[in-house]
Structure 1
Amino acid sequence: MATPSIAPPPPSPSYRTGRLIVATGAVVGVVYGYDTGSISGALVFLSKDFGLNASASGFVNSILVLGNILGALIAGRLSDALGRKPTMVIVAAAYAVFSALSALSPTVVVLDLVRFLLGVTIGVSIVAAPLFIAESTPARLRGAAVAGYQVACVAGITLTYFVNWGLSDGGHWRIMLGLAAIPSALVIIPLLRLPDSPRWYLLKGRVDEAARVMATTDPDVDPVAESAAIQRELEAERGGRGGSLARMVRRPFLRATVFVVGMGFFCQITGINAVTYYSPQIFETLGFHGDGQNFLLPAIVELISLVATVLALFVVDRIGRRVVLLSGIGTMLATLVVLAVVFGTHSLSGAGIWIGFGAIALFTAAFNFGFGALIWVYASEAFPARLRSLGASVMLTADLAANFLVAQFFPSVLEELGATWAFGGFAVLVLIALAFMARMAPETKGRQLEEIRGYWQNGGRWPDDAPPGSLEGGGLSPGGSAAALGTGIATSGEQPRP
């Protein structure tokens, strides 16, 4: 394979371009979080204005999730065809338009239509944004950078609850829904100035551009050598139809597909968005009364979750993905058992109320520490370049299908069966999720994206227990050991470790 004919400029020690990519992705994450959480407060007031019952209120939430599913299904092919950056620009513009139209909706039918289109936008963004970040970030920082997207999402949800609390006295649901249009419009400007990800350029055969961009986004490696090595990996993946769903359900990637579908489904079916969408109703069931109080308490819960998510950002590249993920899921299980006991023993007064509040806060924090932070990391890591965007779409489609079930049916379950059965059922699902993730989740800390391919090809084991960055791991070293892959290009040798 020919090496790039034009040498890129020397690496920038400032990581300026990479940091700008992470920052713009974070703004999109804040908007996603805000649009996801804003309905929790707005629903209380728009249900009264439009005369909605529990089922119709659930549909206002679930229609967004139906749009999410469609968006996630098309996101992979869209981001492969247009590029990661153009897709992000389209997402930001659509967020601005549909957030504004949500605020102006004259009837619930119009609101449902606009929220469906907003949901499609969200579905595209939750595939494209983590992908853009992961493909533009050095391997030693990738986990934290992608987990930072979850920090942004939680920050957006937290902001939502404080806005809802501030606007609850007047019932200003239109303002609650429309505010996201402002940052969405503003982030388009820096997005337009960014390059696409180096790996997308390589997918399109634009090797010189990939090396030039990699010089500014990943100063840890020799960009010429790294680009050539990744290009060799892409050539090795060409068997069959590149990027097709058929390849994902055949060996060696069948195991990876089972893993990402299972992770996506369990991430949502275990109940996090029951709290996000219906927290005022849950707190009222728990024994708290008054709209102001029931809007403030979710804000406090999300602040605690934000701290947990930031903690995940700092440890995910140090102690590893599996430890963070499994400890988060285990804590979720414990808190759901506590909630089921509190509701089951009717301890809804005095200390029981605050124990329940603490369990909800810890449940949400544990989710964001484990599932919430790691789903974006694994979605962007699990597959090789030609399947990566499609794999992320499949994972997040499974996630959103489960989200739809929770959004649509949780209000009815809470009303008809009671909180004990609702949270007890979630506890059983979390137990199943814990067993599944303990069996299936790989430890990808410090591995290059191309290296992870070898894990699945070796039946869910690192070949010969190869250490991170080794060629035996199925890829190349963090220093870009392209010569050992047969490209004939010298590399810079050992790279700094965190």
Structure 2
Amino acid sequence: MSIASVSATPPTPPTPSSRPARPTGRLFALTGAVVGVIYGYDTGSISGALVFLSKDFHLSEAEKGLVNSILVFGSIVGALLGGKLADALGRKAAMLIVAASYAVFVACSALAPNVLVLDIVRFLLGIAIGISIVAAPLYVAESTPARIRGASVAAYQVATVAGIVLTYFVNWGLSGGGHWRWMLGLSAIPAALVLIPLLRLPDTPRWYVLKGRTERAVEVMAMTDPDVDPRTEVAVVSAALAQESGGSVRSLLRRPYARAAFFVVGLGFFCQITGINAVTYYSPQIFEEMGFTGDGQSFLLPSFVQLASLAATVLAILVIDRLGRRVVLLCGIGTMVLMLAVLTAVFGTGTLQGATTWVGFAAILLFTAAFNFGFGSLIWVYASEAFPAQLRSTGASVMLTADLVANLLIAQFFPSLMAWAGAARTFAGLGVLALAALVFAAVTAPETKGRQLEEIQDYWRNGGRWPRTPVPEPVSPGALGSGSVPPSP
């Protein structure tokens, strides 16, 4: 792939409409999406495999929960490492590590001789997943124009849901023979194939600036973003980086970004504690409790649930850069609250048959679709754009770690909670948490539609409000001026 030449004197930037789309930018988004498909497949594959491997390995309810939660625990470790890895080695290098690790550990999980080996391999796979959910959205967000960034990053969620849809149909097709090893192992193939385009792509312009490779940053910016003059934009990124004190977690706890850290940690935690992965991981068991037991219904119905979720995520992509982040997020969470109330009522009747059963199915379908329309699409967007460049990977790691801690709680304790408290009380509790999430998002979520990544920091510097003019921040001695670009080493 050729690299656009950059003249020493920057030309007058054409208007966005006059510049052609950059194929390299599309390839960034497509590659990130393939990683999302693999992540989605791995997330969903265990739901069907667990039914059969539980019998082969004679697992208790607690051991079933551990098979799920051990991967999430590994994901927490990976998310904590992901930001540092993406900064030190590069977004591209982190993605290469992820793809190779996926291929190896997925294949090993399919060959596991016992549950101990399976748990160890799933922990290692979880580390790769944790790195991927930090690195992949960063990789896409830092390589796409502001006007389509929301849709480009949300496309990662579309790919994730597509992977879950695929795995449910695969689970249904393989359920007749109980082929859980094939259910787990098939995603090793696309994981290996995604290495090919990754090897051809450059890293992101903002990472090159972070490492002082500004001439390379200008070249890649010219390849990926038709809406900006590459030298001017790299100068803006460089100046913003010069004003930041560092990328440590401690920096997130100090002004002006403590408010941003509170927002992203809360959003990440609410995203999972409201129960979406209870449906993803345990949907065959939930549908069996609803009374769907014949002709493989408990395996087939989750496929239609995820198809509706895929449609909802595509809809989110179409409207997220038009309606804005807040409208999409609040509509999604509000619908989740309503559907959890319906599920509480359905399971509270005590008689799951006839129309009541199908009302429960519709509520599960709409709950999952609403999650993917709101939380599912916006978590990646906010994770990748809430912080300035120097703190972006650290902030994404913190947000997604909070998300994964909540996921760990759901994965480990949902089966036991259903058995102890009953389905009605369990879904009622999730409904209360979803209502709290709605209030939290309404109060704290910023509207970042159409904003440049370097511009969003002004919102936090101004106390959680958009300023009419950019908020100035003192530049340390020796820092760059507003229009200068440091020389490439």
**Quick check: TM above 0.5?**
yes
Q: Which residue of 2 aligns with 1:308?
A: 312
- TM-score after normalising by structure 2: 0.93
Query: 1:349 corresponds to which letter in structure 2?
Result: Q
Q: Which residue of 1 aligns with 2:478?
A: none
1:250 to 228, 247, 254: 254
CA distance in 2 between counterparts of 1:91 and 1:380 reads 18
CA distance in 2 between counterparts of 1:59 and 1:184 reads 25
How far does residue 472 in structure 1 lie from its aligned partner after superposition?
2.7
How far does residue 345 in structure 1 lie from its aligned partner after superposition?
1.5
CA distance in 2 between counterparts of 1:179 and 1:422 reads 33
Query: 1:472 corresponds to which letter in structure 2?
Result: P
Matched, 1:21 2:28: yes
Gaps of 5+ in 2: 1-5, 474-480
Within 5 Å, which residues of 2 pair with 1:225-236? 225-236=232-243
Q: Which residue of 2 aligns with 1:67?
A: 74
Residues 161-199 of structure 1, C-alpha deviation per residue, up to 9 Å, x if partnerless? 000000000000000000000000001011000000000
How far does residue 385 in structure 1 lie from its aligned partner after superposition?
0.4
Matched, 1:96 2:100: no
Q: Which residue of 2 aligns with 1:284?
A: 288
Determine if contact 1:248/1:254 at 8 Å carries over to the other structure: yes
Within 5 Å, which residues of 2 pair with 1:177-188? 177-188=184-195
CA distance in 2 between counterparts of 1:236 and 1:343 reads 55
Query: 1:361 corresponds to which letter in structure 2?
Result: L
Query: 2:330 corresponds to which letter in structure 1?
Result: L
How far does residue 346 in structure 1 lie from its aligned partner after superposition?
2.0
Within 5 Å, which residues of 2 pair with 1:419-458? 419-458=423-462
Determine if contact 1:84/1:132 at 8 Å carries over to the other structure: yes
Q: Which residue of 1 aligns with 2:477?
A: none
CA distance in 2 between counterparts of 1:434 and 1:151 reads 22
CA distance in 1 between counterparts of 2:423 and 2:32 reads 37
- SS of 1:316's partner is helix
Q: Which residue of 1 aligns with 2:222?
A: 215
CA distance in 1 between counterparts of 2:7 and 2:222 reads 15
How far does residue 290 in structure 1 lie from its aligned partner after superposition?
3.5
Q: Which residue of 1 aligns with 2:470?
A: 472
Q: Which residue of 2 aligns with 1:492?
A: none
Determine if contact 2:461/2:471 at 8 Å carries over to the other structure: no
Q: Which residue of 2 aligns with 1:293?
A: 297
Residues 105-132 of structure 1, C-alpha deviation per residue, up to 9 Å, x if partnerless? 0010000000000000000000000000
Query: 2:23 corresponds to which letter in structure 1?
Result: R
Query: 1:437 corresponds to which letter in structure 2?
Result: A
Query: 2:169 corresponds to which letter in structure 1?
Result: F
- TM-score after normalising by structure 1: 0.92
Matched, 1:340 2:344: yes
How far does residue 415 in structure 1 lie from its aligned partner after superposition?
1.1
CA distance in 2 between counterparts of 1:245 and 1:288 reads 47
Q: Which residue of 2 aligns with 1:493?
A: none
Determine if contact 1:8/1:215 at 8 Å carries over to the other structure: no
**Pair 288,218 (structure 1): closer, same or farther in 2 beyond 3 Å:** same
Q: How many residues align?
A: 468
CA distance in 1 between counterparts of 2:10 and 2:71 reads 44
CA distance in 1 between counterparts of 2:371 and 2:449 reads 20
1:50 to 43, 57, 62: 57
Determine if contact 1:161/1:296 at 8 Å carries over to the other structure: yes
Deviating 4+ runs (over 3 angstroms): 4-12
Q: Which residue of 2 aligns with 1:408?
A: 412
Determine if contact 1:280/1:291 at 8 Å carries over to the other structure: no
CA distance in 2 between counterparts of 1:167 and 1:344 reads 34
CA distance in 2 between counterparts of 1:343 and 1:147 reads 33
How far does residue 291 in structure 1 lie from its aligned partner after superposition?
6.7
Within 5 Å, which residues of 2 pair with 1:151-230? 151-230=158-237
Gaps of 5+ in 1: 465-470, 476-484, 490-498
Residues 328-374 of structure 1, C-alpha deviation per residue, up to 9 Å, x if partnerless? 00000000000000111124111000000000000000000000000
Q: Which residue of 1 aligns with 2:333?
A: 329
Q: Which residue of 2 aligns with 1:399?
A: 403
Once the two structures are overlaid, the 10-residue window that deviates more, 286-295 or 50-59, is 286-295
- SS of 1:195's partner is coil
Query: 1:147 corresponds to which letter in structure 2?
Result: A
CA distance in 1 between counterparts of 2:106 and 2:235 reads 43
Query: 2:122 corresponds to which letter in structure 1?
Result: R
Determine if contact 1:8/1:211 at 8 Å carries over to the other structure: no
Matched, 1:124 2:118: no
- SS of 1:55's partner is helix
Determine if contact 1:463/1:474 at 8 Å carries over to the other structure: no
**Pair 339,30 (structure 1): closer, same or farther in 2 beyond 3 Å:** same
How far does residue 13 in structure 1 lie from its aligned partner after superposition?
2.2
How far does residue 230 in structure 1 lie from its aligned partner after superposition?
1.2
Determine if contact 1:329/1:434 at 8 Å carries over to the other structure: yes
2:383 to 374, 379, 384: 379
Q: Which residue of 2 aligns with 1:78?
A: 85
Q: Percent identity?
A: 69
How far does residue 234 in structure 1 lie from its aligned partner after superposition?
1.0
Query: 2:470 corresponds to which letter in structure 1?
Result: E
CA distance in 1 between counterparts of 2:285 and 2:295 reads 10
